[in-house]
A and B are shown apart, each in its own frame.
Chain A
Amino acid sequence: MPIAAISALFLVWEIACRAFAIPSYIIPAPSAIWTETTALPGNVAWHTMVTTKTVLLGFLVSLLVSLPLAVLLTSSPLVAAAVYPLLVLTQAIPKVALAPILVVVLGTSELPRVVVTFLVAFFPLVLSIASGLVSVPPELIELGRACKANRWTELWRIRLPFAVPFIFSGLKAAIALAVVGAVVAEFVNSDAGLGYLIQTSTAFFKVQLAWGALIILSIMGIVLFQIVVAIERIFFPWSPGIDKQTL
């Protein structure tokens, strides 16, 4: 059904472009996008790989930072009061504005792009992991205490497993945001990637290629999201998943 809907959309788009003779530098027809994008398959694939790498690295860093950060946030009210405003600050900073400054600080490498991706993606992840860790029913905590659990075993055996569905809802939000973050970073500083491709091809009025890159980015977002969903289904089959839970 979703495939039928999307095919129909492309069909209407194609027909509209031809019927109203819309100039291709404003809105190109899907067929033109296809021809132009697949003209240099190796080139486009390489740009896609570069962006995917930034997205995945930023996503991974988000997860690696968010887990301990969420544990820290929920460990005591004092720590939460100290750390939480800093977290909000990182979200208040406009990432597009921060990106060029980061390039100055960190150099024109992959690093500032990964940092921007991470900054865009990690916040909802921290929040959902933290809310998972604190929403363990008090009776489960009592059970742990009755079984002589210490703080560490309580975290490892009760709180973290309980938080798994929350962690995944955060991961689903984070992977979508990581794509956004990577493209923003590429706009500011890069010599490769789909964000870079969009920027350079629009500069040279190769609008079809820019549209092609945009469509590839959308597909990338969907595929990565579905991979996260699949990992949850396969490794945590007891998790209620997206159907029972709000993101």
Chain B
Amino acid sequence: MSAYVIEIQNVSKHFVSRDRDRVAALIDVSVSIRRNEFVCLVGPSGCGKSTLLRLVGGLLPVSQGRVMIDGRPVLEPRAETGIVFQSPTLLPWASVLDNVLFPLKMMKRIAPDSPGRARSLLKLVGLEDFEGKYPRELSGGMQMRTGICRALVHDPDILLMDEPFSSLDALTREELTLELMRIWREQPKTVLFVTHSILESVMLADRVVVLSPRPGRIAEIVPVDVPRPRQFGMEALDEFQRAAGRIRELIFGAGRDTVH
């Protein structure tokens, strides 16, 4: 048994475009993620970071290499993985509570204590008074919180997040970043978090995987040594600056010859 929960081994992914060309999205990506580690995927638009997340989630098949979770190859979506999408993706016809319970209903795992569990998650994100509301009655931030509760309701050990905060305003974004760290502290999980914000990645992650522009390859995996619990204001710390600087250099600064 390996020490890693998620093992991405020499994974390549290509898509077949409309005119039958093969377009490479990811080339030879290898990352191993430890249990309860928080890993961010950062890279320019179109570098395949969302694709990599979908490969780990079993939503897309790999073209080459393999993705392993707990030593088993991922061939289809896994029940013990929670996914938060870029948009909240709530069901407009279901109340907040029913939206949170949706995965359990779909997987026929609804139990007598499920609504209680959903309510305690809603309480965790401050939505306890909104369980009967419909998604269109909520603000963007509240919708995203509901989406996060939904991803957590079946108590997954892996949480995949695909730029979850990118559509929110800056204040809500900071708020939710802090909330996510609190949730992760209270209910530790292995998190793979896709973002295009360098600051967000350094704020959240134990390690940041920096991808090069399309086709995506791993430019470098940058460790973040900023002490926890983290809060805004820590951007001034040396550790923060060092990590953020290195990521920025990998994405923008360095010329072609310095990218590994």
Contacts and interface: CB of A to CB of B under 8 A. Distances in A.
Given A139-B86, A238-B134, A238-B136, A146 B92 contact: no
B224 to A, nearest CB: 28
Contacts, number: 53
Contacts of A146: 57, 59, 77, 81, 83, 103
Interface string A147-159: 1110001000110
A140 interface: yes
A143 interface: yes
B93 interface: yes
B165 interface: no
Which of A142, A145, A147, A157: most chain B Cβ within 10 A? A147
Interface string A113-146: 0000000000000000000000001011011111
B106 interface: yes
Nearest to B134: A238
B79 interface: yes
Interface string A226-247: 0000000000101100000000
A80 B91 CA distance: 27
Which of A146, A148, A149, A157: most chain B Cβ within 10 A? A146
A236 B136 CA distance: 14
Nearest to A153: B106
A121 to B, nearest CB: 26
Interface string B45-79: 00000000010010100000000000000001101
A149 B108 CA distance: 10
Contacts of A153: 106
Given A161-B91, A236-B93, A144 B59 contact: no
A145 B89 contact: no
Interface residues of A, number: 20
Secondary structure at chain B's binding surface: helix, strand, loop or mixed?
A: loop
A70 interface: no
Contacts of A157: 105-106
A143 to B, nearest CB: 5
B89 A139 contact: yes
Nearest to A144: B106
Nearest to A137: B89
Contacts of A143: 83, 85, 89, 102
B107 interface: yes
B103 A147 contact: yes
Given A139-B85, A238-B134, A238-B136, A147 B93 contact: no
Contact of B102 (A145, A147, A236, A239): A147
B241 interface: no
A158 B91 CA distance: 8
Contacts of A147: 77, 102-103, 106-107
Interface string A180-219: 0000000000000000000000000000000000000000
A164 interface: yes
A147 B59 CA distance: 11
B30 interface: no
Which of A137, A139, A236: most chain B Cβ within 10 A? A139
A241 to B, nearest CB: 12
Nearest to A154: B106
17 contacts: A139-B87, A140-B91, A142-B83, A142-B85, A143-B85, A143-B89, A145-B77, A147-B102, A148-B76, A148-B79, A148-B106, A157-B105, A161-B93, A162-B91, A162-B93, A236-B93, A238-B136
Interface of A: 137, 139-140, 142-149, 153, 157-158, 161-162, 164, 236, 238-239
Given A140-B91, A161-B93, 4 more contacts: A139-B89, A143-B89, A146-B77, A238-B134
